[in-house]
Amino acid sequence: MTEASRLRLQGISKSYGNLRANDKIDFDLKPGSIHAVLGENGAGKSTLMKLIFGLLQADEGDMFFDGRRVSWQSPEQARAAGIAMVFQHFALFESLSVAENVWLGLAKTWTLPAVSEALRELGRHYGLVVDPNAMVHRLSVGERQRVEIARGLLAKPRVMILDEPTSVLAPQAARALFTMLRTLASEGCSIIYISHKLHEIRELCDECTVLRHGKVTGRVDPRQCNDEQLSALMIGSAPPPLVRASVSLSEVVMKVENFTVPAVDDSSETLNDVNLSLMSGEILGIAGVSGNGQGLLLDALSGEWCDDTRRERQVKGAIRFQGRAIEAFGVQQRRRLGIMAVPAERLGRASVPELSLADNMFLLDQGNDWRIDRPRLRRAAASVIEAQSVKALGPQALASDLSGGNLQKFIMGRALQAEPQVLLVSQPTWGVDVGASAQIRQQLLAHRDAGAAILVISEELDELFQIADRIQVMYAGKLSPAIARQDASVELIGLWMGGAWSASSQSSENVLMGTAALELSK
pLDDT by residue (tens digit) across 413-460?
999 999 999 999 999 988 787 888 888 999 999 999 999 999 999 988
Question: Does pLDDT of 259 surpass 60?
Answer: yes
Asked if 322 and 174 touch (Cβ cutoff 8 Å), the reply is no
Question: Does pLDDT of 131 surpass 90?
Answer: yes
Give the model's confidence band at 238: pLDDT under 50 very low, under 70 low, under 90 confident, else very high.
low
How many other CB atoms are there within 10 angstroms of residue 472's CB atom?
25
Give the rounded percent of residues in the chain with a pLDDT score beyond 70. 88
List strand residue ranges (DSSP E) for 153-270, in order. 159-163, 190-194, 207-212, 215-220, 252-261
Give the model's confidence band at 521: pLDDT under 50 very low, under 70 low, under 90 confident, else very high.
very low
Tens digit of each residue's pLDDT (9 = 90 or more) over 6-40: 999 999 999 988 889 999 999 999 999 999 999 88
Per CATH, 7-235 and 239-338+421-522 having the same topology is answered yes
Tens digit of each residue's pLDDT (9 = 90 or more) over 39-93: 887 788 989 999 999 999 999 999 999 999 999 999 999 998 999 998 877 889 9
How many other CB atoms are there within 10 angstroms of residue 109's CB atom?
6
pTM of the model: 0.69
From the list 181, 205, 113, 102, the residue with the least C-alpha distance to 144 is 102
Residues 239-338+421-522, CATH architecture: 3-Layer(aba) Sandwich (3.40)
Q: What is the mean pLDDT of residues 235-251?
A: 69
Query: What CA–CA distance (Å, rounded) separates 84 from 75?
Result: 9
How many other CB atoms are there within 10 angstroms of residue 108's CB atom?
7
pLDDT of residue 210: 93
Give the rounded percent of residues in the chain with a pLDDT score beyond 90. 52
Helices (H), 92-241: 98-104, 112-126, 141-154, 171-186, 198-204, 227-235
Tens digit of each residue's pLDDT (9 = 90 or more) over 358-415: 999 988 765 555 677 889 999 999 999 999 989 888 999 999 988 888 899 999 999 9
Residue 65, beta-bridge partner list: 7, 68
SS3 for 491-512, per residue?
HHHHHHCCCCCCCCCCCHHHHH
Query: What CA–CA distance (Å, rounded) separates 109 from 479?
Result: 45
From the list 487, 36, 43, the residue with the least C-alpha distance to 223 is 36
Domain ranges of the chain: 7-235, 239-338+421-522, 350-419
Task: Identify the three-state secondary structure at position 65.
Answer: strand
Tens digit of each residue's pLDDT (9 = 90 or more) over 140-170: 767 888 898 888 888 889 999 998 888 766 6
CA dihedral 345, 350, 354, 358 (to 10 degrees): -150
Query: What CA–CA distance (Å, rounded) separates 295 from 522?
Result: 31
Burial code of 155-170, b = ≥16 C-beta within 10 A, e = fewer? bebbbbbbbbbbbbbb
Find the range with the poorest average confidence among 36-40, 208-212, 240-244: 240-244
pLDDT of residue 519: 36
Asked if 49 and 194 touch (Cβ cutoff 8 Å), the reply is yes
What class has domain 7-235? alpha beta
